[in-house]
Structures are given as C-alpha cells and as structure tokens.
Amino acid sequence: MDPIRKLAFVINQEKTGAPQLASALESIARSHGVDVKSSARFPIPPDFLAGCDACCVIGGDGTLLGIVRAAAEHQVPVIGVNRGSLGFLTTFSAEEAKVQFQSLLKGEYVVASRSLLDCSTGPDQHDLALNDVLIKTEANSRLARLEVFADGQLVTEYYCDGLIFSTPTGSTAYNLSAGGPLIYPTAAVIAMTPICPHTLSNRSIIFRDDVRLQVFDRTKARLLVAMDGQRNLVTCDTSPIEISLSRKRVLLAQRPGFEHFSVVRTKLKWTGGYADRSH
C-alpha cells in the first residue's frame, strides 16, 4: 500500500487507556511527517475523513462500527486498535499498534474489503450496516409476525422475537449468538437468522449476493430496525423493509499474514483437537 500521509484518529475516550494510546500513536505519526487530525465526537463530524489516507480507530468494535458509513463513503482504510473486550474488527492490540505503527505508516499493511448491508424502511429512511440489521417489535414482550420475500418470491412467514440479517463480517456477532452460521468474511452472501421462532423447522437461510429482500410487517405493531445495534430506522406503514448488499464496501487494514480463523479461535476460545494427527 502507499505510505500514509494524512491520518485521522477517532478515539473512544471512555475506553481505559485509549486517550494515552492515541497520544502516543499521534506522536509517532507526526515524527514521521504525517498530517494528523483527531476526533472524540460520535458521530464524527461530517466529511471528517475526506482526503485522509487512513483512519485509526482506538476503542472497541462498537467504536469502529460507528464510523463505517463515513469510511465507506470516502473509501478510507480503517486501522482498528482494540481497547474494548472482544475485538473482532479492531484486530490490533495496543501493544501491536505501538510496535507496528511505523510500518503501518509506511504502507506495510493489507486491506480487507468487506461487504455492507443496505437497508431502507421507507422514503428518506436509509442506512448501511457492516455487521447486521435487526428487525423486531419495539415492545420487547411482543412477538413479531414478519413475512419475507426474496426477489419477489415468498420465503416464509416468521412468528418470532425478531430477524437478524447479517453480513459475513457480522456472522460472529448477534447472528452467532442466535444460533446462526459462521461465514468466511469475503463470502458474497447474506445470512438471515430468526430469533426464537415459534416452530422447530426454521433455520438460518443463506442468500446470494445480488438478492433483493423484502420484509413485510404483519404484526401491526411498531417495529424496531437497528443498524449494527447502534442506529435505528423509522418504519413506514406503507413500505416494506428492503435489504440488499450495498455497492459500497468498507476497507479494514490488517497486518501482513493476518489469519481470520486464528482470530476466531482466540476470540471464541475454541478448544479441542486430535491427540494423534497421524491419521
């Protein structure tokens, strides 16, 4: 990759050690002649990432999810430094960031291009999600009755606590907790997983990348449509909820030699294996 000449920092000051780490990394960047700007505001100011070569996010996965739309709009690679707990998206630890930051500034990183979900709930109600779109009733105690169509063909009607539409990136998030599948991050698919469906036969469904999904509310109750668990869209009584893969992508900076399943094994604490692998 090209060397980084203009770098934006987005800092979650509520995360322990994040401000101090940001100060240290900003000093490294400035000492190498990099033009630095920083923000601790959420959402970040409009066009904050315009003209930047990269954005360094210091916080947790939620912090990174908060700048996805801006990063996708400006096609700015995101360097995620984890000061949260799990850290599937913020793949650099604080120690790794300090040690490898000079190399990152020189362009010694690879970029993973990740798909985004495009969701519309009516006129002027539109957003992007890197992980997932959640549809449920606004009243948690009430079940949802949701009818799903794929390319105009009825899939089925769900009577459930809600539906999760997930990207491959988001398959390790709410989708996984609800019993959905793990998906390789570059697979061109959308996963749909019902939450506690009132049937024994409903399972997750994997749709191809160019599918056009529509969800109709048969509950006749106010629905909640949550984007990445952070932003809510207002539903329209006369319009279905429409979901598809966006043409835009988000770019995640990763160290050379990054291994997806190594991260999955570590974060999910996978154990087991054969004592004797000779067979």
Cα separation of 53 and 234, whole Å? Answer: 34
User: What's the residue count for the chain?
Assistant: 279
Closest C-alpha among 33, 28, 118, 125 to residue 79: 28
| Catalytic residue check, 61 | yes
Whether 118 contacts 244, CB under 8 Å: yes
- Look at residue 141 and give its three-state secondary structure: coil
- 165, 223, 237, 247 from 234: Cα distances, Å: 17, 8, 10, 23
Q: For residue 16, what are its two tokens?
A: 């322990």
Whether 146 contacts 218, CB under 8 Å: yes
Amino acid at 275: A
Partners of 25 in beta bridges: none
Q: What are phi and psi of 177, to 5 degrees?
A: -60, -30
Cα separation of 163 and 175, whole Å? Answer: 9
Which listed residue (2, 53, 61, 237) is catalytic?
61
Residues annotated as part of the active site: 61
